């Protein structure tokens, strides 16, 4: 990281940033071309590993790319605040962000799919409970997880 003065260290501090983010951008490579999509997500930090959970349609460009190449980059950011200055070069922008890399796996087993969706709902709603999902909805929905190999945080405030 070039700006060590902005690096966020400590898992607790990194997870605090993740908790504040509502959207995660998933970056993939499609035959050498980048493809990035914004996604709602859920997460857990288990056994010293960050795991992100996503859901969406079972078909489409993102699914096709991930089935060919399941290595992905992710980025999320929060705490956006422009700062003013007395001249153009003194203006800036405060933020907190996370960026990382990992592999994506599709979840097919029903109980694990429900668990992943509950983590996603917990993050998006703040409600820590078991939600119910219609069988047809579970079958029509792709649920996948990204297991992070690395992730770092950066903050300007």
CATH number (domain holding residue 152): 2.30.110.10
Q: Per residue in 121-155, is it b (16+ CB within 10 Å) or e — as a string?
A: bbbeeeeeeeeebeeeeeeeebbbbbebeebebbb
Q: What is the pLDDT of residue 6?
A: 87
pLDDT given at position 22: 96
Number of domains observed in the structure of the chain: 1
pTM of the model: 0.94
Intervals of the chain under pLDDT 50: none
Determine the pLDDT at residue 46.
97
* Four-CA torsion 100, 36, 124, 143, nearest 10 degrees: -90
Q: Which domain holds residue 10?
A: 4-156
**For residue 30, how far is the Cα from the chain centroid?**
19
Specify the pLDDT at position 2.
83
Using DSSP's 3-state secondary structure scheme, residue 134 falls into coil
Q: For position 3, what pLDDT does the model report?
A: 81
């Amino acid at each position: 990281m070039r700006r060590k003065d902005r690096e966020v260290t400590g898992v607790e501090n990194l997870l605090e940033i993740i908790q504040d983010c509502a959207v995660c951008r998933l970056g993939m490579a499609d035959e050498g071309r980048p493809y990035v999509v914004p996604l709602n997500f859920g997460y857990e930090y288990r056994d010293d590993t960050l795991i992100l959970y996503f859901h969406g349609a079972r078909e489409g460009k993102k699914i096709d790319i991930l089935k060919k190449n399941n290595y992905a980059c992710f980025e999320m950011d929060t705490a956006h605040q422009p700062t003013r200055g007395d001249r153009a070069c003194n203006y800036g922008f405060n933020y907190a962000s996370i960026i990382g890399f990992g592999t994506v796996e599709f979840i097919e087993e029903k109980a694990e799919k429900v668990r992943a969706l509950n983590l996603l709902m917990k993050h998006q709603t703040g409600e820590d409970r078991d939600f119910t999902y219609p069988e047809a909805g579970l079958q029509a929905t792709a649920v996948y997880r990204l297991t992070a190999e690395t992730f770092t945080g950066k903050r300007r405030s």
